[in-house]
Structure 1
Amino acid sequence: MIAEFRLPDLGEGLPEAEIVQWLVAPGDTVKLNQTIAEVETAKAVVELPSPYAGTVRDVRAEAGETVAVGAVLISFEVDAAGAPAAPSAVPAGAESNSTPAGEAGAEPADPPNLVGYGAAPRSGARPQRRARAGRAAPAADTAVLEAAPHDAVTSQPPPDTRHERPRSTPPVRKLAKDLGIDLALVEASGASGIITRADVEEYAARTAERQAPVSAAPTRSAAQLPADDLPGGDRETRMPIRGVRKATAQAMVASAFTAPHVTSFLTVDVTATTELLARLRSDKRLADHRIGIMAVAAKAVCLALRARPELNSRWDEAAAEIVQFHYVNLGVAAATERGLVVPNIKDADRMGLAALADAIGELAQTARSGKTGLDALRGGTFSITNFGVFGVDAGTPILNPGEAGILGLGAVRRQPWEHEGEIALRDVMTLSLSFDHRLADGEQGSRFLVDVADVLREPGRAML
């Protein structure tokens, strides 16, 4: 029996995905729930498990190819044991001629409960299924995989339903592929046995050292190299626009040409905040929390939005209404290898400083690993971005679509500054606020920026 696996709707409402890499090839024998491929959507890299046990017959899409939802990805040769279990009754709404030709009285094959995280194992007691009206039975010689409901992707199955634990995460496997490294040759350094990015990079460095000639010249920067010595012989490189970068570009263009942006700047003495952070870091009771200036700025934003709700609102063009939010879902811009993502912290205004710091760290780590869920990317009301970590003093951030404001944090620099009537070395940073001029005018935007600056200048104001 030939069974086809079509690209399912991964629960994100996205029409297509790109094949990152195949982990199987024609002729390979696969087991139920064995990971067979990695695909990249505009949101994340997703592992696809096999819904069948059998032999790979052929692969219909190449690595790097963008495939529409519903297109056939791969086909399997399966026997009765590898085929899905038959249902106890024909679902309501199924066609009357659903019995496969040549198998009189046989019930139609039931596609496995897949999508994104594998098929559920068969057992004597059949689990309760959601009704899917109008589902036609598969053809006589082909079993077609259906798209699963949204919650099939967002919920992990019990540990014993997975065939095996992957030896690395999708971003690490992609890194190894880009570097031309066979993961089977890389040893995991941790007790978990999972190969990490550091393991791959260390292996790559060792390999490069062994392959480098003894008389190799010292490494020079691109600025020091003549044009003819730059890597590669081509004068230009072309890269396809896809995945997160494509989605981000579309969102930024839509934002820039829909909302009239205004950007205001304010340079502030944050010495009191940096001194507070130093004391918090030395407090053993807070040893489990990494509290930095980003967390203090996030708290200051939440406090300022209470007094300036215009910056915590949305312009609803269709309804001809301005929607003001009485909660703060704070977006945190995160730069990843796949592009910029802005997951948000739900109800950030209800959190204390330590909880905000933990949430920011968790969002950043999840984003860098490519595991940010769709729910974390939805429903933001205001965002912050920290380009100071790159040594930049100020910028003009673009609004996250649907939000009224975004605050940019510049680098903290030790420099001469007027303090109590004298010149002293102080910690100084520049704040950059972009806001939607339809929702807030210059006065409201400026007052909001001053409110944030006041907390950073004197953290004790948060007590008020």
Structure 2
Amino acid sequence: MLLDFRLPDLGEGLTESEIVNWHVGVGDTVTLNQVIAEVETAKAIVELPSPYAGIVARLYAEPGVTVNVGEPIVSFEVEGGAAPDAAARSTDSGADAPQPNLVGYGARAESGTPQRRARRAVGEAPVVPAAETVSTTTTAPAPLASAPAPETTTQTPAPTPSRPSTAQPAERPRSTPPVRKLAHDLGVDLAQLMGTGEHGLITRDDVEAAASVMPSGVGTVPNQPAPEPSARQTRTPIRSVRKHTAAAMVQSAFTAPHVTEFLAVDVTATMELLARLKQDRALTEHRIGILAIVAKALCIALTRNPSLNTHWDEAAQEIVEFHYVNLGIAAATPRGLVVPNIPDAGDLTLPALADALALLTATAREGRTEPARLAGGTISITNIGVFGIDAGTPILNPGEAAILAMGAVRREPREHDGGIALRDVMTLSLSFDHRLVDGEQGSRFLADIGTMLRDPARALAMV
């Protein structure tokens, strides 16, 4: 029996993923939950385990190809397995489709947590549920709810009758992002085209052929080829993390009214505390740095200023106040900026928080952050000081009310005990959503963090 494995919903409204690498080839024997491929979403690289034990019969997409959620990516030849009638009942909803054992998906493991239920993310696109169906001899792989149930594959490649005219069209024509952009630039409606590529895929030639017969002024045939690469410029497709980050920042900048406040803080006492902690043999296994201290101070300050730990739910016209802190940390990686978060960071001790920060950073740089960790954050920190920057105006992570930027710690002459002394100084920059946070609330929150960094012992009076 041949069974198709469709690209599953990897969580958080992601509608497509790029095939990065196949770990198997046609004819290979695989076991249940064996990693068969790596796919890159807009947020992270995710390993896909095999939902079946059997032989790889076909790979539908080559590495580098972007596949929509719900489209088949690999076909397995299995013995027995799901009953043919059960597999054939799959519909667009996927409710009756047999569910494979997808062990290892962080997004699915977190989908039912209180954090996910409390945080109503704004603007997430609907996704098509994954469904594993029995392969048929039809040329188009996507099953339609109104179409008759497909039949199991036979060994005789007989021609397939066309679909009934009453069948509902697919959600959108099958094409790759570059082809969709070309169609947009040429004014071609993809919904009116019949793809000549494999499984009905609309190709670049299809779009250009359609544009060549369009009325004058409606669409044009490109008279010049795409710019040739040269030593004077490099062209990189906008996709994956960069594409997601750009969309998120535009949404945030033009949705939430940003206000940014700055505070220069004498952190000499905090730096002396860090030096003592590094000499403490009981803490030698923990890398406690300035970021961990600031993160702990932020979590304590939120208990006194809860309006900074909220979310504006536009659809429900409600303000959602979180009673937990999922602390996002902006991390620069080779793939671009990501903001994974530490769940329930407010409940962690300082050493535990330092360990969580170290693990989060290392995982993000390797591109192995679970998708569930890239959503559901309630407030964020960005450490621009590691780049030697003193202050900035950080843009809010979408759905959050505030973000704190840490500047570089600099040795500067300051007034101290009636005289002038060299002191360690850091500038904090706080951006917040003025719909949720008033100026007084934001100022008190920033001042509380500054107070604890000037005198770490004051944190005991704020808990």
For normalisation by structure 1, the TM-score amounts to: 0.66
Map 1:195-210 onto structure 2 (within 5 A). Answer: none
2:100 corresponds to 1:113: yes
For 1:30, the equivalent position in structure 2 comes to: 29
For 1:228, the equivalent position in structure 2 comes to: none
For 2:413, the equivalent position in structure 1 comes to: 416
2:138 corresponds to 1:138: no
For 1:373, the equivalent position in structure 2 comes to: 370
The SS at the match of 2:368 is coil
2:349 corresponds to 1:362: no
> What is the CA deviation profile of residues 314-357 of structure 1, one whole-angstrom value per residue up to 9, with x for unaligned ones?
22223333333333222222222222222222332232222221
For 2:280, the equivalent position in structure 1 comes to: 283
For 1:403, the equivalent position in structure 2 comes to: 400
Unpaired runs of at least 5, structure 1: 96-109, 119-134, 147-231
Map 1:245-260 onto structure 2 (within 5 A). Answer: 245-260=242-257
For 1:21, the equivalent position in structure 2 comes to: 21
* 8 Å Cα contact 2:22/2:36 also seen in 1: yes
Superposed displacement of residue 277, structure 1: 0.5
Map 1:1-80 onto structure 2 (within 5 A). Answer: 2-26=2-26, 28-33=27-32, 34-51=34-51, 56-75=56-75, 78=77
* 8 Å Cα contact 1:393/1:429 also seen in 2: yes
* 8 Å Cα contact 1:345/1:359 also seen in 2: yes
Cα distance between partner residues in 1 of 2:57 and 2:326: 48
Amino acid at match of 1:392: I
* 8 Å Cα contact 2:413/2:421 also seen in 1: yes
Amino acid at match of 2:43: K
The SS at the match of 1:113 is coil
Cα distance between partner residues in 1 of 2:245 and 2:384: 17
- Judge which range, 388-397 or 358-367, deviates more: 358-367
Cα distance between partner residues in 2 of 1:68 and 1:407: 36
Aligned residues: 342
Superposed displacement of residue 262, structure 1: 0.9
The SS at the match of 1:423 is strand
* 8 Å Cα contact 1:112/1:145 also seen in 2: no
Which of 72, 79, 88 is the matching residue for 1:83? 79
Cα distance between partner residues in 1 of 2:52 and 2:318: 51
> What is the CA deviation profile of residues 83-141 of structure 1, one whole-angstrom value per residue up to 9, with x for unaligned ones?
34355x9659959xxxxxxxxxxxxxx968244759xxxxxxxxxxxxxxxx9973677
Which of 447, 452, 457 is the matching residue for 2:449? 452
* 8 Å Cα contact 2:327/2:379 also seen in 1: yes
- Judge which range, 441-450 or 1-10, deviates more: 1-10
Cα distance between partner residues in 2 of 1:427 and 1:358: 25
- Judge which range, 254-263 or 30-39, deviates more: 30-39
The SS at the match of 2:19 is strand
The SS at the match of 2:389 is coil
Cα distance between partner residues in 2 of 1:137 and 1:277: 58
The SS at the match of 2:398 is coil
For 1:389, the equivalent position in structure 2 comes to: 386
* 8 Å Cα contact 2:42/2:244 also seen in 1: yes
For 2:289, the equivalent position in structure 1 comes to: 292
Unpaired runs of at least 5, structure 2: 91-96, 106-130, 144-228
Cα distance between partner residues in 1 of 2:132 and 2:65: 29
Cα distance between partner residues in 1 of 2:17 and 2:447: 44
Map 1:163-202 onto structure 2 (within 5 A). Answer: none
Cα distance between partner residues in 2 of 1:312 and 1:3: 46
**Aligned CA distance change for structure 1 residues 409 and 11 (closer, same or farther; 3 Å):** closer
* 8 Å Cα contact 1:2/1:141 also seen in 2: no
Cα distance between partner residues in 2 of 1:72 and 1:375: 23
Cα distance between partner residues in 2 of 1:310 and 1:391: 31
**Aligned CA distance change for structure 1 residues 2 and 349 (closer, same or farther; 3 Å):** closer
Superposed displacement of residue 386, structure 1: 0.7
The SS at the match of 2:259 is strand
Map 1:195-344 onto structure 2 (within 5 A). Answer: 233-344=230-341
**Aligned CA distance change for structure 1 residues 448 and 50 (closer, same or farther; 3 Å):** closer
* 8 Å Cα contact 1:6/1:145 also seen in 2: no
Cα distance between partner residues in 1 of 2:132 and 2:311: 43
Cα distance between partner residues in 2 of 1:137 and 1:266: 58
Amino acid at match of 1:301: L
> What is the CA deviation profile of residues 359-391 of structure 1, one whole-angstrom value per residue up to 9, with x for unaligned ones?
222222222232322332333221111111121
Cα distance between partner residues in 2 of 1:83 and 1:366: 38
**Aligned CA distance change for structure 1 residues 418 and 329 (closer, same or farther; 3 Å):** same
**Aligned CA distance change for structure 1 residues 410 and 70 (closer, same or farther; 3 Å):** same
Cα distance between partner residues in 2 of 1:68 and 1:54: 24
Cα distance between partner residues in 2 of 1:75 and 1:346: 37
Cα distance between partner residues in 2 of 1:377 and 1:75: 30
Please provide the CA RMSD for this pair.
Answer: 3.1
For normalisation by structure 2, the TM-score amounts to: 0.66
> What is the CA deviation profile of residues 29-77 of structure 1, one whole-angstrom value per residue up to 9, with x for unaligned ones?
333345432211123212234455666554332221111122232345x
Superposed displacement of residue 233, structure 1: 4.2
Cα distance between partner residues in 2 of 1:362 and 1:36: 26
